[in-house]
């Protein structure tokens, strides 16, 4: 029984979907999680937007042309995809599915549109909405980037309000006032999810059947 106990909640990994408005700090939180939770696998998204300063191909995103991205869509190579402020974002499908089957947890850092599409295919996933301390703080964070025009900032804030209204589709909501605190809450959620009866019950049934 000892070996079974050790693998009870690791037969299949848990898919965690982290999303929220642009500028809320999803990337920063995920980067911190990768350091504090090295067993958590980060799924890199594909996008048609231009790289920002310091972003690395295959680490932050897979940067694609529109034609390359359309090819991925046509060949069912993305788990989800969405258009956001004139650019496309998507999640490579095979990597996520193979990693979950191997027993490892996967975290997706994606926009709200994409998260809702993933929920249709993976309702058993854990969906977390990352909130800013306030809308004023969110706007300040976007302005501080120094990468957006005034028109783009206004557009992103309009989209942000619409996305926050969709928060009821998520399982959890976390305010990102401090990165360390947000990471700790996500880790606690993951531990609790692995302990859920419905995730453990199939293995328990297998044990019982083996005794008969």
For residue 112, tell me if it sits in a domain.
Answer: yes
For residue 207, tell me if it sits in a domain.
Answer: yes
Q: How far is CA 89 from CA 5, 71, 82, 186, in A?
A: 39, 13, 5, 23
For residue 201, tell me if it sits in a domain.
Answer: yes
Domain count for the chain, please give it: 1
For residue 204, tell me if it sits in a domain.
Answer: yes
For residue 154, tell me if it sits in a domain.
Answer: yes
β-pairing, 106-109 vs 126-131, is unpaired
CA distance 164 to 146: 24
CATH number of the domain enclosing 155: 3.40.50.300
Domain holding 33, by residue range, is: 2-43+104-211
For residue 130, tell me if it sits in a domain.
Answer: yes
Identify each DSSP E strand in 121-200 by its residue range.
Answer: 126-131, 172-175
For residue 129, tell me if it sits in a domain.
Answer: yes
Main-chain dihedrals φ then ψ at residue 101, nearest 5 degrees: -65, -30
CA distance 30 to 26: 6
- Give 77-123 pLDDT, tens digit per residue: 998 988 887 899 888 888 888 889 999 999 998 889 889 988 988 88
Tens of pLDDT along the chain (212 residues) come to 333 434 444 578 999 999 999 889 998 999 999 899 989 998 888 999 999 999 999 888 899 999 999 999 999 899 898 888 789 988 888 888 888 999 999 999 888 988 998 898 888 899 999 999 888 888 887 787 767 787 888 888 888 899 999 999 999 999 999 999 999 999 999 999 988 888 777 777 777 877 76
Q: CB within 8 A of 169, min separation 6: which ones?
A: 115, 116, 119, 127
HSE at residue 61, side-chain half, CA atoms within 13 A, is 20
For residue 116, tell me if it sits in a domain.
Answer: yes
Q: What is the dihedral of CA 73, 40, 21, 138, to 10 degrees?
A: -150
Q: Which residues of 115-135 are buried (b: 16+ CB within 10 A; e: fewer)?
A: bbbbbeebeebbbbbbbbeee
Look at the alpha carbons of 129, 133, 135, 139 in this order and tell me if their dihedral is positive or negative.
Answer: negative
């Amino acid at each position: 029984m000892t070996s079974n106990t050790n693998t009870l909640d690791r037969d299949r990994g848990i898919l965690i979907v982290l999303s929220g408005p642009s500028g809320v700090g999803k990337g920063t939180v995920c980067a911190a999680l990768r350091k504090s939770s090295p067993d958590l696998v980060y799924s890199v998204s594909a996008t048609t937007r231009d790289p920002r300063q310091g972003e690395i191909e295959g680490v932050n995103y897979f940067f694609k042309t529109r034609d390359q991205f359309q090819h991925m869509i046509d060949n069912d190579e993305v788990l989800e995809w969405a258009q956001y402020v004139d650019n496309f974002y998507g999640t490579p499908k095979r990597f996520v599915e193979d990693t979950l089957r191997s027993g490892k947890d996967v975290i997706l850092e994606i926009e709200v549109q994409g998260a809702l599409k993933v929920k249709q295919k993976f309702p058993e996933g854990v969906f977390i909405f990352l909130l800013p301390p306030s809308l004023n703080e969110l706007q300040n964070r976007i302005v501080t980037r120094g990468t957006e025009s005034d028109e783009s900032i206004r557009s992103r804030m309009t989209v942000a309000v619409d996305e926050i209204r969709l928060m009821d589709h998520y399982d959890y909501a976390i305010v990102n006032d401090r990165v360390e605190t947000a990471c700790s809450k996500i880790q606690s959620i993951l531990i609790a999810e692995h302990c859920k009866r419905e995730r453990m019950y199939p293995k328990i049934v297998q044990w019982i059947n083996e005794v008969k």
